[in-house]
Every structure is written in C-alpha cells, then in structure tokens.
Structure 1
Amino acid sequence: MFRRLRGIPLLGCLLGSIGCHSQPPAPPAIQKGDYGAIIRYLQARIPKDMARENVAGLSIALVNGQELIWARGFGLADKAQGVPVTPNTAFRAGGISKLITATAALQLVEQQRLALDAPIQQTLREFYVRSRFHSDQAEADRAITLRRLLSHQSGLPSEHLRDLHSTYAMGQMPMRVSGVWLSSLPGSQVAYSNLGYSLVGAAIERSSGKSFEAQLQSSLFKPLQMNQSSFLGTGAHLSFRALGYEDGNASTDAQVRDLAAGGLWASPKDLSHYVQMLFAKGSYKGNQVLDSTSIDAMFTQQNTGNALDFDCQMGLGWFLAPCGDEPIGPGVRTYQHSGGGDDFAAQLTLLPDQQLAVIIMANDSNAEEMVVSLSTDSLRLMLEAQTGKPVCADDCQAPSHGLKLRQVPAAVDRKRLGGFYATAWGVFRIKDDHERLFGELAGYDFELLRDDQGWLRAQKKVLGFWLKDLGDLGRIQLDVVKVEGRQILTARSHGQRIAIGERIEAPPLSTVWADTIGTYQVLNTHEPDAPLSGISVRLEEGFLVIRGQLHDEPLTDYILLPVDNAHAVLAGSGYGLGDTVSRQINGLSASGYSFKRTHSPHTPLNF
C-alpha cells in the first residue's frame, strides 16, 4: 500500500528501457567438471559489472551438492573506512529471511508445537481479522493458518505501514494489528505479505518459549555453523556487516520491525550451509536439523488451483518457478527467493534436481538487476560444468520481434481494452486516442501494438516516430483475459503468464465518498523514518484516485473503490492491493494510520 516505485523489482524490469540488460562479456565454453573456468570468468566479470552499475560491494557463493565450490567477496563493505568485503561479510538478506523463518516454523511443526493447518489464532489468541469475504467473522479467523501464512495465501495485507521502523517486541505485533481487514479471500491467490511473516515470527516465539533470535540461533544458526547470521542489530554495530549504499552514498541503516520477514543478516557463505542442509534432506555434518518430510512440504506447490496465480508456483517460503523471470534452461526446475530494500540486494537460487545453487548478496540499491543476471548466468555455467553440455543455445535467448510484425489494434479491440487497470505499481491507463492505443504507467507513456501472435507490445515514440522499443517492456507480451468473472491484465515473459493488473469499471460515487476528495496528513506519529506522511484523494474520469505522500515525494496512485459508506478498498488483487481505507470523523484511516483532512476542494462536483 502506498509504495515507492523503486523497490518493486518487476516494475524495474518491465519499464527498464535503459541499462537493464547491458551485455556482460560472453562466457567461455565450459568443459565437464571445469568449475575453475567458471571461477576465472566470474572473477573477471564481477568487478566490471560492479563498476558499470556503481555497486559498492558484493559477495558470492557457489554450491554443488555438499561442496562449497567457491566463496568470494568483491569491493567494499564500508567505503569511508576502506573495509573490504570478505566471504564472511554479512549483508541484509531482505526477503530471503522468509526462507529461514519458514524453516524454523517447520521445525516447531515437527515438534508439534505448531500445526500447519490449524488457525494461527490457536497460538496467537489475541489476533483476529475482519473480512468482507465472510459472513461469519469467526470463520475468517479460522481461515488464517500457518500454511497460508508461509505460502502468502492468508489474504492479509502485504504491509502494515504504521510503526514500520519501530523497535517494539515482535510479540506485540499480533495485538497491534488485531482487527486488520483481509485484502483477499484466504486460499484464493498468492499475495506477498511481509505482515503475514511477521505473525509467523510471533508464533515461533510464542510456541518455542524463546525470543525469535534465541530460537533461531539454537535451532538453525548454530547447528548449521552460520556464524555471521543474526536477526538483530544493524551494520553499524558489528564490523563484519556491510553498510548499504544508494547512488554511491552510505544510507541510514534503518531498524526493521518485521524481522521474521526481512531482518536477517547473513553472508552467502553462511547461506551455503543452509542450502547444503536442504540438499542432504535436512542433515548437516551428521546433525539432523530438519526432517526430510518438512523439506518435501517446503518444496511442494501450495497454490494449485488458484486461477489468478497463472504460472507462479508457490511452496512454503520458496518460489518454485521463475514467475516471469528468465529461466535457467528448458525443463530445468528452479527454486528461488530474492531480497531487496534498505539499499541491499540478494538472490538465492537452487536447482533441486542437479543440487546446484548460487547465492549472491550486494550492498547497493543499484545492484538488483545485476544480481539477478549474475545468478542466472552462473547457474547456467555450473550446469554446463556438471553435464558437459551447453544449457541452451537459442532456447534461452530473448525472442527477436521486428517492428514490422506489429499492428495497430482494430477499433473493436481498442474499445475492449481501453480503461483503468489496478496494478501493484499503480494505475495503468489504456486509452483509445485517434485510432491508436496508448498506455501510461508510473509516468511512462507508450503505444500498444499487436504482435504476430496477437499479444500487445509496447513501443516508444522517438523524434515523432514510433520506432524505438521500450526495452524489457517492449519484449513483454500483454493482454486482457477473463478469469472468474474478472478482466485480468496479464503479461507473458519467457513463456510464462503472470497477472499484473485488473480492469476496473468506475462505480457510482456516493456523496459521502465524494466528500473525501482532498488532502490529508498523518496524525499522532513520531516515527523518525515513517513510510508515509500524508495522502490525497482526487476524482479522475469517474474514479476516486488515492495517492500516498512521503514529505515532498508523491507515491503511487491507486483506484479507491467504496464498499459501503464507511469502507473502501484499493482496487485490484495481489501485492499491496485490496487493502481497506475507512472513513473517520474529519479524516480517513489506512494501514494503521489515521489521517486528518488539511484541504478540500471548494468547486462543486458534477455527477
């Protein structure tokens, strides 16, 4: 809800017309078993990639079964002090934290202290939800299970923004967010939720009788000899932790409230021990850390039958498919999780059938695309070294589509497609203008044309002519399909279809919601790094559009759909969508915040 556009990785991929995929040096042919050639190639490539993207520091680990093939640090963990990155330097792991949290939860399931399919309310008794999807609110509470929390199918909002950078105890979280409105029907779709994992962390504390950090140290970090790993502290506290950088400048090392969702500090070398344990069916150096049945459950698809998830397969914590990212190779199963934010970037990717893995972590906001590309290429080379054969010749290359293949959509097509679409990156507007179809998203304007397969593709105007592709967005194939009575904007990337938005029709607007048009400021918050300082509501072509504000920086636009006279939701489904906004006396409330009106328009509205 009310996110900055930076930090949502797919948008950077979709809209990155410049620099997203600048070509690294071509890798050499790898002979069977010659991992040394891979190391030499990466030692030469990585510093060049870092210099091109102005990345301060990076660390990498390559794993083959129970062997750590290579672990190496590059660049600086602290530029001012000249501290180099070593294999033992810890980075913020971001979303990769969820893999560790899910593993700790499954350990407690094995001990029968937690249950995958029991309501989480049995452990967190003070926690309850409100639901517009259930007539019986108790039924809504029962629908929030550990399995659904771990697989992002709980229906909870993606974030709870109030006190996002606070330091209060994890155990207080269930009480503080009790009464939160569900954003989607539990079990119906994957909607990534940091809030959900924060509750998992509280459940781990409650069921183990220990603090989250103490439980993780005793159950995972010490048995796996993950000596640099912890969920506590900041990079300024310990010399082996890297500082984060944004545009070359050291950034403030913010406190992380949702530790279980994104607070892990670790090195790729430490995480390689975790991967080796998974490859060994839960054993590490003779110590059984996790039962093999728990690993099987972790790697079993949990969202089968969810029509809105299309080709994205979700396990317990793990993404079991690329979900639109470039695959490693044809028919190669890939499990992965990335981590971003707070000016760090990380990726952990493993090939379960071949028992190969790459872990890369960097301490710079510019590193996300570089880390993804480097992970993909490293795994292809490792697979080539294992089999003695190239992973893919033409199969892995982006398809070439000439502009001559593109056609202006027909009039009936333009009429069908034109409208407002709710996406995680804001409002995607498609308009029929002078017999051509145009799109606008996050300030990017482009024409939409049909390719020879009938998909929509974006093309940008240069010097008055539509001659230039919009980088990755030009390669993404778009279309609108009807799913469960909803018009879903989908993208096809690398042969996979994913949902990116939903077409929304303008509803009749009641007087009470028309009266909410204006600007609002946050009330009663003393957060030093608050993610939100205000909101505004305006009318655009019959839609209420709500926009967050962070000081002088406008955030993303969302469509606000009234549900009744007291409540409205951010239109759409998926990350950050479906969240509830409530009317209050002289204001609004959302994501734990109350907002007081500071300005309202004086011009009467015409309906």
Structure 2
Amino acid sequence: MFRRLRGIPLLGCLLGSIGCHSQPPAPPPIQKGDYGAIIRYLQTRIPQEMARDNVAGLSIALVNGQELIWARGFGLADKDLGVPVTPNTAFRAGGISKLLTATAALQLVEQQHLALDAPIQQTLREFYVRSRFHSDQAEADRAITLRRLLSHQSGLPSEHLRDLRSTYAMGQMPMRVSGVWLSSLPGSQVAYSNLGYALVGAAIERSSGKSFEAQLQSSLLTPLRMNQSSFLGTGAQMSYRAHGYEDGKASTDPQVRDLAAGGLWTSPKDLSRYVRMLFAKGTYKGRQILGSASIDAMFTQQNTGNALDFDCQMGLGWFLAPCGDEPIGPGVRTYQHSGGGDDFVAQLTLLPDQQLAVVIMANDSNAEDMVVSLTTDSLRLMLQVQTGKPVCADDCQAPSHGLKLRHVPAAVDRKRLAGFYATAWGVFRIRDEHARLSGELAGYDFQLLRDEQGWLRAQKKILGFWRKDLGDLGRVQLDVLTVQGRQMLTARSHGQRIAIGERIEPPPLSAAWANTVGTYQVLSSHEPDAPLSGISVRQEDGFLVIRGQLHGEPLTDYILLPIDNAHAVLAGNGYGLGDTVSRQVNGLSASGYSFKRTHSPHTPLNL
C-alpha cells in the first residue's frame, strides 16, 4: 500500500532516464568442467559493473551440488572506514528471510507442533480477520492456514504499515493486527504478504516456546554452521555487517519489525550451506535438518488452478518459475527468491535438476539490475561447464521487432483497451485520444503501438524521433483478457504471461465518499522512520484517487473503490491492492493508521 515509485518490476528501465544498461562483456570460451574460466570472467566483470553503477559492495557464491565452487567479496562494506567486503560479510537478506522462516515452520510441522492445513488461529488464538468474501466470519478465520501463509495465498494485506519500524515483540503482532480486513479471497491467488510471514514468525515462537531468533539459531542456523547469520532488527550488534548505500550515501540502519519476513542478516557463503542442505534432501554434515518430504512440499506448486496467477508458480516460500523474468534456458526449471529494501539487494536462484545455485548480495540500491543479470549469466555459464554446451543462443532472448513496422492500433482496438487499470505500482491510464493510444504510469507517458505480430508495445517520441523501447515495458506483449469476469491487463514476457493490472470502471459515488476529498495527516504517530505521514483523496474521471504522502513526498496513486458507506478498497488485485480504507468520524483509517483531515473538500488542493 502506498509504495514509492522505485524498484518496479517490468518498469525499472522505463523509470530510468535513458533506458537499460549496456550489455556486459562477452564471456570467454568455456570448456566442460572449467569453473576457473567462470571465476576469472566474473572477477573481471563484477568490478567493472560495480564501477559503472556506483555500487559500494557485493558478495557472490557459486554452488554445485555439495561443493561451494567459489565465494568472493568485492568493494566496500563500510566506505567511511574503508572496510572491504569479504565472503563472511553479512548483508540484509530482505525477502530471502522468508525461505528460512518457511523451513523453520516445516520443521515444527514435522514435530507436530504446527499443521500445514489447520487454521492458524489454533496456534494464534487471539487472531481473527474480517472478510467481505464470507458471510460466516468464523469460516474466514478457518481459511487462514499455515500453507496459505507460506505460499502467499492467505488473502491478508501485503503490509501492516503502522509501527513498521517498531521494536515490540513478535508475539504481539497477532493481537495488534487482529480484526484486519482480508484483501482477497484466501486460496484464490498469490498476493505477496509480509504481514502473513510476520504471523508465521509468531506461530513459530508460540509453538516452539522460544523467541524467533533462538528457535532459528537452534533448529537451523547453528546446525548449518551459518555463523554470520541471525534475525536481528538492526545490524548494530554485528561487527561483520555491511552498511547500506543509496546514490553513494550511507543510509540509516532502520529497525525491522517483521523479522520473519525480512529480518535476516547473512552472507552468500552462509546461504550456500542452506542450499547444499536442500540439494542433499535435508541433510548437512551428516545431520538431518529437514525431512525430504518437507523439501518436496516446499518445491511443490501450491497455486495450481488459480487463474489470476497465470504462469507464476508458487511453492512454500519459493517462486518456482521466473514469473516474467528472463529464464535461465529453455526447459530449465528454476526456483528463486529475491530480497530488497533498506538499500540492500539480494538474489538466490537454484536449478534443482542440475543442483546448481548462485547467491548474490549487494549493499547498494543501485545494484538491482546488476544482481539480476549476474545471477542469470552465472547460472548459464555454470550449465555450460556442466554440459559442455552453450545454454542460450537466440532462444533465450525476447523477440525484437523493428520500430518501423509498428502501427497505431485500430479505432476498435483503442476503444477496447482504453481505461483505468489498477496495478500494484499505481494507476495505469490508457487513453484513446487524437487517433492514437497513449499510456501513463507513475508520471511517465508513452504511446502504445502494435507490431506486426500483434504485440502492444510502449514507445516514446522525442524531438520527432522514436526512442528505443522503454526498457522491459517496451519489450513485453500487453493485452487485456477477461478472466473470471474481470478484465485483466496482462504482459507476456519471455514466453510467460503475468498479471499487470485490472481494468476498473467508474463506480457510483455516494455523498459520504465524495465528501472524503481532501488531505489528511497521520494522527498520533511518533514513529522515527514512519513509512507514511499522510494521504490525499481527489476525484479524477469519475474515480476517487488516493495518494500516500511521506514528509511532503508524493507516493503512488491508487483507485479507491467504495464497498459501502463505511468502507472502500484499493481497487485491483496483487501486492498492496484490495486493502480496506475505512471512514471515521474525523477522517479515514488504513493499514493501522488513523488520518485526520487537514483540508476540507471546499479548500483548493495543491496536488
């Protein structure tokens, strides 16, 4: 809810100033079994790309079966003190934390302290939900299971923003968020939820009788000899940790409340031990850490039959498909998870059939694109070493068609596509005007053209000349499909179809919701690093549009869709969408915050 305009998948190059980075240097000839050639190539390539993107530090680990092929640090963990990154330097893992949390939960399932398909309320008895999808509220509570929490199918909101940087105990979380409104029907779609994993962490504490950190250390981190790893809210207690950087400047070390979702500090070298345990069906150094049946369950698709997920396959914690990202190679199964935030970037990708893995972590917000491309290219080279044959020729590349063959969609096509689309990254406006089809997202505008194969592409004209494609958005196929009675804006990228947004029609607005137009500030919040300081509501083309504010900085626009006189939701489905906004006597409430009106509907607004 209310995200910053940064780090948008499929749109990263679009929001850049010129486009994607130049291609990396071509690797040298790679012979079968010659991992040394890969290492020499990466030792040259990585510093060059770090200098190009002004990345402070990076660490990498390559794994083949039970062997750690290579682990190496580059750059600086602390620029002020000149501390270099070593293989033992710890980085914030972000979302990769969830893999360890899911593993710890499955350990407790094996011990019969938790059950995958039992309501989580059996363990967290004070936790309940409210639902607009169920007539029986008890049925809604029963629908929130550990399996659905681990596979992001619980229907819970993606975040609970209030007190996001607080230090209160994890065990308080179920009571603090009790009564939260579901954002989607449980079991119907994958919608990434940090809140869901915070509840998993509370369930681990409750069922084990230990603090989350103590349980993870005793059951997982210590047995795996992950000596530089811990779930801590900050890195202040760690002498071997990296500092985060944004645009060359050191960032703060903010407290992480939802430790189970994103609180892990670790290194690629440590994570390689976790990967080797998975490859060995749950054993490490002769000790059984997790049963093979649990690992099979972790890597079994959990969202089969969810039409709105299209080609994105979800396991227990793991993404089992690229979900629109560039594949490693044709027919190569790929399991992965990434991590980001607080100016750290991480990627863990493994190939289960070949037992190959790459782990890369960086302490700079500029490193996102570099980490992704390094991971993909490193795995392709490792496959080549294993098989003796190049993995990709033209079959790994996205289709590329000439600009001259593109044309303005026909009038009937423009009419079909024009509208407002609710996406996880804000309102995507597609307009049919002046005999052309234009798009706008996050303040960036472009023209939408069809190519000779019927693909809808984004382009921009500058000084009368067509610019090259607008990054990934210019290379994917966009179209609108009707799924379960909903008009879904989809993108086809690298042969995979994923959901981008949902077309929303202007709803009838009651006087009560029409009168919510205005600006609001957070009421009684003293958080040091609050993610939200206010919101504004305005009318646009028959819609209510809500926008977050953070210390005067505008965040993303969302469509506010009234459900009744007291409640509205952020229209659409997916990360941050479907969340409930409620009317109160003196303002609005959302994500745990209460907002007090600061300007009335009759006061001119500077938006």
TM range (shorter): over 0.9
- Per-residue deviation at 1:472? 2.0
Q: If the length of structure 1 is used for normalisation, what is the TM-score?
A: 0.98
**3-state SS of paired residue (1:11):** coil
AA in 1 matched with 2:382: M
Written as runs of structure 1 = structure 2, the 5 A alignment for 1:159-174 is: 159-174=159-174
Partner in structure 2 of residue 389 of structure 1? 389
Q: Please give the alpha-carbon distance, in whole angstroms, between the structure 2 residues aligned to 1:523 and 1:199.
A: 26
Distance in structure 2 (CA, Å) of the matches to 1:418 and 1:430:
5
Q: CA offsets per residue over residues 141-184 of structure 1, 9 Å max, x none?
A: 00000000000000000000000000000000000000000000
On the 8 A contact 1:15/1:473 being kept in 2, the answer is: no
How far does residue 400 in structure 1 lie from its aligned partner after superposition? 1.7
- Decide whether the 8 Å contact of 1:155 with 1:185 is kept in 2: yes
Structure 1: runs of 5 or more not aligned: none
- 1:403 positional shift: 1.1
1:284 is aligned to 284
Aligned to 1:373: 373
* DSSP 3-state at the match of 1:240: coil
Q: Does 1:31 align with 2:2?
A: no
Q: CA distance change for structure 1 residues 66 and 603 in 2, over 3 Å: closer, same or farther?
A: closer
**CA distance in structure 2 between the partners assigned to 1:409 and 1:119 by the alignment:** 50
Please give the residue correspondences for 1:451-530 in structure 2 after superposition, counting only pairs within 5 Å.
Answer: 451-530=451-530
Distance of 2:353 and 2:186 partners within structure 1 = 32
Q: Give the Cα separation in 2 of the matches to 1:259 and 1:412.
A: 51
Measure, in 2, the Cα distance between the counterparts of 1:117 and 1:531. Answer: 33
CA–CA distance in 1 between the matches of 2:45 and 2:561? 49
- Which residue is 2:68 aligned to? 68
* Superposed counterparts of 1:229-308, under 5 Å: 229-308=229-308
Deviation for aligned residue 1:473: 1.6
Moved more, 33-42 or 400-409: 400-409
The one-letter code matched in structure 2 to 1:85 is V
Tell me the equivalent position of 1:562: 562
CA distance 1:469–1:9, change in 2 (3 Å): closer
* Partner in structure 2 of residue 184 of structure 1: 184
User: How many Å apart are 1:10 and its aligned residue?
Assistant: 3.9
Q: Find the aligned partners of 1:573 and 1:142 in 2 and give their Cα distance.
A: 22
Q: Equivalents in 2 of 1:278, 1:201: separation in Å? A: 21
| Structure 1 residue 246 displacement after superposition | 0.5
Counterpart in 2 of 1:437? 437
| Length-normalised TM-score, structure 2 | 0.98
AA matched with 2:532: L
Aligned to 1:55: 55
User: How far apart are 1:261 and its partner, in Å?
Assistant: 0.2
Distance in 2 between residues matched to 1:469 and 1:283, nearest whole Å:
47
Number of paired residues?
Answer: 605
3-state SS of 2:460 partner: strand
Cα distance, 1:399 vs structure 2? 2.1
Instruction: Confirm or deny: 8 A CA contact 1:246 1:366 kept in the other structure.
Output: yes
SS in structure 1 at match of 2:230 = coil
CA contact (8 A) 1:325 1:493 kept: yes
Deviation string 1:433-459 (CA, Å, 9 cap, x unpaired) is 111000000011000011222221001
Residue 20 of structure 1, CA deviation:
3.0
| Aligned partner letter, 1:51 | A
- Contact between 1:15 and 1:472, CA under 8 Å: does it hold in 2? no
Structure 2: how far apart are the matches of 1:30 and 1:467?
36
| Cα separation, 2, equivalents of 1:2 and 1:330 | 37
Counterpart position of 1:106:
106
**Partner Cα distance (1:181, 1:602) in 2:** 31
* 1:12 alignment partner, SS class: coil
Q: Distance in 2 between matches of 1:55 and 1:279?
A: 32
Contact 2:12 2:472 in 1 (8 A): no
The answer to whether the 8 Å contact 1:311/1:323 transfers is yes
| C-alpha deviation, 1:603, in angstroms | 7.3
The question of whether the paired residues in 1 share the 8 Å contact of 2:234 and 2:256 is answered with no
**Equivalent residue letter for 1:581:** V
Matches of 1:313 and 1:16, distance apart in 2: 29
User: What residue in structure 2 maps to residue 318 of structure 1?
Assistant: 318
Letter in 2 for 1:104: A
C-alpha deviation, 1:13, in angstroms? 5.0
Query: For 1:77-116, what per-residue CA distance to the aligned partner results, in whole angstroms no more than 9, with x for missing partners?
Result: 0000111000000000000000000000000000000000
**Structure 1 letter corresponding to 2:91:** F
Q: Comparing 553-562 with 465-474, which one deviates more in the overlay?
A: 465-474
- Seen in structure 2, the aligned counterparts of structure 1 residues 491 and 558 have a Cα distance that, compared at 3 Å, is same
> Partners of 1:252 and 1:216 in 2: how far apart?
26
When residues 455 and 360 of structure 1 are mapped into structure 2, their CA distance, relative to the original with a 3 A threshold, is: same
In structure 1, the residue corresponding to 2:277 is in which secondary structure?
A: helix
Query: What displacement does 1:349 show?
Result: 0.2
Distance 1:454 1:279 in 2: 43
Mapped partners of 1:578, 1:240: distance in 2: 41
Residue 593 of structure 1 pairs with residue 593 of structure 2:
yes
Letter of the structure 1 residue corresponding to residue 425 of structure 2: W
1:116 aligns with 2:116: yes
What is the letter of the counterpart of residue 378 of structure 2? Answer: S
1:197 — aligned with what? 197
Q: Counterparts of 1:5 and 1:273 in 2: how far apart (Å)?
A: 35
Instruction: Tell me how far 1:461 sits from its aligned partner.
Output: 1.1
Alpha-carbon contact 2:87-2:269 (below 8 Å) kept: yes
Q: CA deviation at 1:15?
A: 4.3
| Residue aligning to 2:549 | 549
| 2-structure distance, mates of 1:13, 1:463 | 20
Partner Cα distance (2:465, 2:8) in 1: 31
Where 1:27 maps in the other structure, the secondary structure is: coil
Structure-2 residue corresponding to 1:97:
97
Deviation at 1:306, TM superposition (A): 0.3
Q: Distance in 2 between matches of 1:564 and 1:237?
A: 49
Q: Distance in 2 between matches of 1:39 and 1:262?
A: 30
Q: Percent identity?
A: 90
